[in-house]
Amino acid sequence: MINFAQHIPTTIHFGKGQVRAIEVELKKRAKKTLIVTGGGSVKRNGVFDAVIREVKKANIPYTELSGIEPNPRLKSVYKGIDLCRKESVDSILAVGGGSVIDAAKAIAAGVKYDGDVWDFFTKDISPNGALPIGTVLTLSATGSEMNGNTVITKEDTKRKLAIGSPFLKPTFSILDPEYTYTVNRYHTAAGVVDIMVHVFEQYFSKTTASDVQDRLAEGLLKVCLKYGPIVCEKPRDYDARANIMWTGSLALNGVVGDGKKEDWATHAIEHELSAIYDISHGAGLAIVSPNWMKNVLSKETVGRFVDYGINVWGIAKSKDNMAIANESIDKTREFFRLLGMPATLKEVNISDEYFERMAKDAIRDWGQIGYFKKLSTNDIVNILKLSL
Ligand code: NZQ
Ligand code: ZN
């Protein structure tokens, strides 16, 4: 295990009716809040009304920014920053999925910075503060409700870039599994895949003696195998929604990755796909992840796949190591397919047109792609070709 410092400041209010915690949380720190929402789902399913009731109980004036896009755009972030400054807002409440929360985070950091908020994503400049952020999570996937990351797309240049900062960790998050009942099957499945791939990015690592993180990771993956198909088939199953929701938060709040060298190559490649083609992040991961596994599997890395195959998939120990590894990859692909996710780029209308550009951009943006196996541009193009 390698050295680490861990600080998770987010207060989680988990369970039915926990929206009521907003009143106390807002009273602690807000004089005026900006409520950020997406394309309207929270208005249709009643979550927004429930939130507003609590904001009113707290007697905190608010202003609203709606219309945050999936794969949130920089122009919406600029809009939010202007609004905060004009209305003297001192806190942000994000009500939605990862896209809404990520936009809220970028706004929160941008308000405190005199320059262009995009500098944080493209230059060696980090946020030096942010407005406090609260979240009401409505889609289990990104873990953004409990981490300091935000991913924003600049539409004209088709660049989708991520940053992380301790200032962007939400101060509180409301996790009511019932709020995810209305997520459709496609986005539910995409969320489960995203959660699993977050775990993969941290589990497939060369760091040794990280038993705590590794057994936690395997446990989280097994929860996804158990409840993933149920949330897709029975969207109003509380226990299934609750388990997937909490898994999503734990998968990317530091407990699985801190103390390890993490990989993140699959995400780097997927962000290139969703930057250019605006596909759902989880769908892109479902296509790329098994092919990344095929590319990185070697005599040197097979041991980790053996752990994965035996401990997560229950493959017989008696089999040959390479056979276990390959079977674990096949099972991963089949599972994503069972959830209803695409398995090929063709299914989401993506051709090989931009493969070279995507490979170069990914390496340029992320510095190095992959720590479990360092990927070259050729490797990335090969993974994309395998994904066709
Ligand atoms: O926009 P609305 O109308 O709210 O609809 C959304 C959207 O269409 C809908 N939805 C959300 N909650 C719902 C609901 N529909 C019905 N009922 C509900 N309760 O679902 C659609 C997708 O929402 P979105 O927020 O885009 O999904 P997700 O949570 O998967 O977020 C994806 C974004 O997060 C980034 C991704 O790259 C992508 O931009 N990521 C953020 C990370 C982070 N901050 O840590 C890490 C991830 O790896 C990821 O890169
Ligand atoms: Zn992800």
First to last CA, the chain: 37
> Hey, how many other C-beta atoms are within 10 angstroms of the C-beta on 238?
13
Q: Which atom of ligand 1 is nearest to the CA of 72?
A: 39
Nearest CA residue ID for atom 29, ligand 1: 98
Domain finish residue from 179, 201, 227: 179
Chain centre distance of CA 275: 15
Instruction: Kindly give the distance from the C-alpha atom of residue 210 to the centroid of ligand 1, in angstroms, as a whole number.
Output: 31
Token output for 15: 């369970």
* CATH code, 105: 3.40.50.1970
pLDDT in tens, the chain (388 residues): 999 999 999 999 999 999 999 999 999 988 999 999 999 999 999 999 999 999 999 999 999 999 999 999 999 999 999 999 999 999 999 999 999 999 999 999 999 999 999 999 999 999 999 999 999 999 999 999 999 999 999 999 989 999 999 999 999 999 999 999 999 999 999 999 999 999 999 999 999 999 999 999 999 999 999 999 999 999 999 999 999 999 999 999 999 999 999 999 999 999 999 999 999 999 999 999 999 999 999 999 999 999 999 999 999 999 999 999 999 999 999 999 999 999 999 999 999 999 999 999 999 888 889 999 999 999 999 999 999 9
Q: Are residues 191 and 304 in the same domain?
A: yes
Domain finish residue from 151, 179, 207: 179
Nearest to residue 164, comparing CAs of 258, 46, 239, 84? 258
Provide the pLDDT for residue 368. 85
Answer yes or no: is 277 within a domain. yes
Q: Is the CB of 152 under 6 A from ligand 1?
A: no
Q: Are residues 234 and 270 in the same domain?
A: yes
Measured distance CA(52)–CA(29) in Å, rounded: 17
Nearest CA residue ID for atom 22, ligand 1: 70
Measured distance CA(162)–CA(185) in Å, rounded: 27
Looking up tokens 């990015």, which residue turns up? 201
Domain finish residue from 128, 150, 179: 179
DSSP state of 73: B
Q: Is the CB of 245 under 6 A from ligand 1?
A: no
Answer yes or no: is 3 within a domain. no
Residue from 74, 76, 151 to probe ligand 1 pocket by mutation (most atoms less than 8 Å from CB):
151
Q: Are residues 33 and 138 in the same domain?
A: yes
Q: Is the CB of 133 under 6 A from ligand 1?
A: no
Q: Is the CB of 257 under 6 A from ligand 1?
A: no
Answer yes or no: is 5 within a domain. no
Q: Is the CB of 151 under 6 A from ligand 1?
A: yes
Instruction: Kindly list the strands in the beta sheet with 91-96, ordered across the sheet, starting from the edge strand earlier in the chain.
Output: 11-14, 172-175, 133-137, 91-96, 33-36, 62-65
Q: Is the CB of 71 under 6 A from ligand 1?
A: yes
Nearest CA residue ID for atom 50, ligand 1: 151
Q: How many structural domains compose the chain?
A: 2
Q: Are residues 312 and 325 in the same domain?
A: yes
Q: What's the domain range around 46?
A: 11-179
Measured distance CA(245)–CA(175) in Å, rounded: 7
Token output for 371: 């720590």
Q: Is the CB of 74 under 6 A from ligand 1?
A: no
Nearest to residue 93, comparing CAs of 126, 119, 57, 62? 62
Nearest to residue 137, comparing CAs of 180, 191, 77? 180
Q: Is the CB of 139 under 6 A from ligand 1?
A: yes
Provide the pLDDT for residue 367. 82
**Residues sharing a CB contact under 8 Å with residue 290, sequence separation 6 or more, in sequence order:** 329, 330, 332, 333, 336, 343
Nearest to residue 336, comparing CAs of 191, 182, 217? 191
Q: Give the helix ranges, DSSP H, for 14-168.
A: 21-29, 41-44, 47-57, 74-86, 98-111, 119-122
Nearest CA residue ID for atom 39, ligand 1: 71
Measured distance CA(199)–CA(222) in Å, rounded: 11
Instruction: Kindly give the distance from the C-alpha atom of residue 143 to the centroid of ligand 2, in angstroms, as a whole number.
Output: 8
Task: Give the phi and the psi of residue 12 in degrees, each rounded to 5.
Answer: -100, 130
User: Which 3 state secondary structure label does DSSP give 69?
Assistant: coil
Instruction: Kindly give the distance from the C-alpha atom of residue 293 to the centroid of ligand 2, in angstroms, as a whole number.
Output: 16
